[in-house]
Amino acid sequence: MNEYETKMIPSLYKEISNYAYMEYIGISTESILTENNVTVCVASKDRKESFKRLSDSINIICPKIVLTQGEVYNIPGWAEFNEAAGGILPSYMEMIKYYPNLPKEQCTTNNSLSWARNEVILQCNTDWIFCIDDDFVLSGDWFKYCVDVQQASQSPIVMHNFGAFVMHKETFYNSIMSIDERYINGSSGCEDEDFFARWLESGTKMVIGFNKEHTFDSTKRGSSTGYDHFTHIQGTIGGCRTPDPIGFDNQTWHWTKWSRSLEDTGIQTRPPFKGWIKRNIEKEIDWIKEYH
């Protein structure tokens, strides 16, 4: 254990059937997840075959929305919004305050996963949203698993990893408002670290699901891959969504916004829990309300 590694934030380990979850203490919700009040939403770029594989594995009847950032997919059963042209990201003007040499031509809406996730969330009109990346495959009674854990915990979010989670839309708005679009590109990560940290910071309950046999050893299962109903295809073989903007990496922004702490701040990194972190930049922007 290095000097920054800590014990986990107080949480409750619970088991249901052949799976388990960690429940982070916080504000719960009275809303109950069902098949009748959820929308499946996906942000995808030029991975039609991967998306089709995901689509074929979704075995519930509910609204389904995909935002495509390249080719048009035209998959039956999906409401599709296409962002092929790509305007300049609103976050560009915020980012050049910190990085004056950031190339403007790389900071476009069709190159930003954070922007796309906020945009597709905005299109959902149900109480609950199941957000999933286009490189997952679902199997078995995956939705029953989500329902069982949500109803048992009364949690407004059930995460498997940041690529597959279900959340209560109003609670999302009230707790962290939106995904931080200053994480410009999806391929270099860290927007999930920020999401996790801000959710804990808000004092809102969170649940992370996984197998009873699951460990957070990233060399075996991935850092928070969750229960076996969710198979992360691209995550197991590597590869980036799109190239990172020249001269910028999401980690650069992440460790400008946050830093590691030896003190208990009540905020940790996401699994596998590498220690406490603290804020360096207090200002959060409601990207959905102000720019979408």
CB 47 within 8 A of CB 174: no
Least confident window among 70-74, 82-86, 112-116, 256-260:
82-86
DSSP secondary structure of 69-87: SSS----TT-EEEE--S-P
Element (H, E) at 132: strand 128-132
Sign of CA dihedral 262, 267, 269, 270: positive
Per-residue pLDDT for 76 more than 80? Answer: yes
Q: What is the pLDDT of residues 98-144, one digit of tens each?
A: 888 888 887 888 888 899 999 999 999 999 999 999 988 998 788 99
Lowest mean pLDDT among 138-147, 190-199, 224-233, 251-260: 224-233
All structural domains of the chain, each given as residue ranges with its CATH number in brackets, are: 11-280 (3.90.550.10)
**Which tens digits make up the pLDDT trace of 87-99?**
899 999 999 998 8
The per-residue pLDDT for range 167-209, each reduced to its tens digit, is 999 999 999 999 999 998 755 678 888 999 999 999 999 988 7
pLDDT at 222: 41
CA distance 162 to 235: 12
Q: Exposure string (b/e) for 234-253, b if CB count within 10 Å is 16 or more?
A: bbeeeeebbebbeebbbebb
Q: Does residue 3 surpass a pLDDT of 60?
A: no
Q: What is the pLDDT of residue 85?
A: 79
- Higher pLDDT residue, 22 or 6? 22
Contacts of 70 (CB under 8 A, 6+ apart): 45, 46, 84, 110
3-state secondary structure 16-63: ECCEEEEEECCECCCCCCCHHHEEEEEEECCCHHHHHHHHHHCCCCCC
Residue-level pLDDT at 216:
53
Write down the pTM of the prediction: 0.88
- The CA distance from 233 to 239, in Å, is 11
pLDDT in the model for residue 238 = 41
By the 8 A CB rule, do 144 and 192 touch? Answer: no
User: Please, is 275 exposed, middle or buried when counting C-beta atoms within 10 Å of its C-beta (0-12, 13-18, 19+)?
Assistant: middle
Count of alpha carbons within 13 angstroms of residue 156, beta-carbon side? 22
Taking the C-alpha atoms of residue 269 and residue 276, their distance in angstroms, rounded to an integer, is 7
